[in-house]
Structure 1
């Protein structure tokens, strides 16, 4: 039996579809075709482009928005890889100049936290504590708490330019920190005093720039020194000391400070006390050497 004969045999064994089944199938096909022809054409699909975030804003407003984002993100991005080269807030400016950071204090009466904020932004663990000082103590370091990690770690404070007069234009309190500083430091620095504030530095009231400039009170009587202070319009407060018998040093008893000081008492030193006032270190007895100065 060949292949064609076998195919004819199989076809004869398949029953033919009924006539009514064929008519029903044909009716369904024609109905579906008519429905497709009556359907309105579909609207063409349009792919929309994403609208830019700043579209519709005026150019100046868009630029301001971009700069605001940069201002917020910039220090964060830079801080991941390297220290900033500059930072500023309302109290202080810090910038890297050569091999050191130079901090210029814009507001010497600001909250100390603002100084720390600026140093921290530069990657420096430095705290700044400004204390009221007499004229010659402004810009001088009262005390330095410092722990460096290398011999090259340095920190200090001064007036710039050197020798300038505090309060004059161009004269600024500054702090310097070595580049690459990896230690920790707290700097106590003299600042101009507000009216009525007590000075917290030690100085000689007779030195140039201070209240008794050009007058040496050491070894004079209280009466003599009071005559000079009145002439200069200065107020006076006393600190009573007890000199060592040989004049090498002295002690001070707080309970003796209310004793009445006589005109014959001896003045061993005069110190700036506050604006318009000096403090006289005095004793009733005279000793061979100045117990304060050591000579």
Structure 2
């Protein structure tokens, strides 16, 4: 027995009661067999101090405000503004805030900026996925630090304090359970389901087996010249391309004939497989 095992064995979680005599056993049986008349219990409301509830909500990260809270109390800001010379450094504190909430906080600073942060696949998380702005409206990405591919990110933008005009920014954040990706990176990139897998040219069954090992699956197929939708295709068809659609799921383009590898495609595959384990 190991040292830990001996320590556990030495612990007596429930000391043994002394041996019961005949009289004690008869009394026990009498108590068990005697019917008990149910009594109605009065219910009393359980009261918690408001301060304790708010403290617990703060620890759990819950946005909770009682109905009779003073009007001065408001949810934490979704954006943090810090002056740096002639610019604002705007840090996103809540990646899951509603776009209207971002717009409202920008508007309070006199800025016509719309920030939309939507779920993206792991390799897209932490990246600007699109945007538009009026002429002369300059916005720069100040910093993005993510814990891991697809992990939580700290995002900041640099915006001129004298910003005029309007702008919109789309940014990818980690997807929550049940969410679909609104922006997707390369399915073979770091953090994605088919990272370090030369999936192009493999059969559907081969790709399906790799995905199963990584707790993933093929959500749907696209076939033919018009990329028609298909729920299933023969397992010996060949995979031409794939894209992440949701956590654990990919969309696959498949065809009955083998994939033709052009020099450009071969170079792309070699580039993506560089640094991957061999064999």
TM-score, scaled to structure 1: 0.57
Match in the other structure for 1:224: 206
Structure holding more helix per residue: 1
Structure 1, gaps ≥5 residues long: 1-70, 72-87, 244-250
The 5 Å alignment of 1:128-277 reads: 128-148=115-135, 150=136, 153-157=137-141, 160-161=144-145, 164-165=147-148, 167=151, 171-243=153-225, 251-253=226-228, 257-258=229-230, 260-277=232-249
Deviation, structure 1 residue 185: 0.6
Larger radius of gyration between Structure 1 and Structure 2:
1
Matched, 1:114 2:89: no
Q: Distance in 1 between matches of 2:169 and 2:93?
A: 17
SS of equivalent residue, structure 1 residue 278: strand
Per-residue deviation at 1:116? 0.8
Alpha-carbon separation, structure 2, partners of 1:99 and 1:284: 60
Shift of 1:258: 3.1
The alignment partner of 2:157 has SS state of strand
Give me the whole-angstrom Cα distance separating, in 2, the residues matched to 1:219 and 1:158: 40
Aligned-partner SS, 1:202: coil
Matched, 1:280 2:240: no
Distance 1:137 1:272 in 2: 10
Q: Distance in 2 between matches of 1:122 and 1:259?
A: 50
Shift of residue 259, structure 1, vs aligned partner: 5.6
TM-score by structure 2 length? 0.61
Counterpart Cα distance in 1 of 2:138 and 2:206: 46
Q: Distance in 2 between matches of 1:241 and 1:98?
A: 55
Residues 258/201 of structure 1: CA separation in 2 closer, same or farther (3 Å cut): same
1:223 and 1:195 mapped to 2: Cα distance? Answer: 27
Distance 1:135 1:158 in 2: 21
| Contact preservation (8 Å) 2:221, 2:233 | no
> Contact 1:219–1:267 at 8 Å: present in 2 too?
yes
Kept after mapping to 2: 8 A contact 1:157/1:189: no
1:278, CA displacement in angstroms?
A: 2.0
C-alpha change, 1:273 and 1:225, in structure 2 (3 Å) is same
Secondary structure of 2:230's partner?
A: coil
- The CA RMSD over aligned residues, in Å, is 2.8
Which ranges in structure 2 are unaligned for 5 or more consecutive residues? 1-71, 269-279
Q: How many residues align?
A: 192
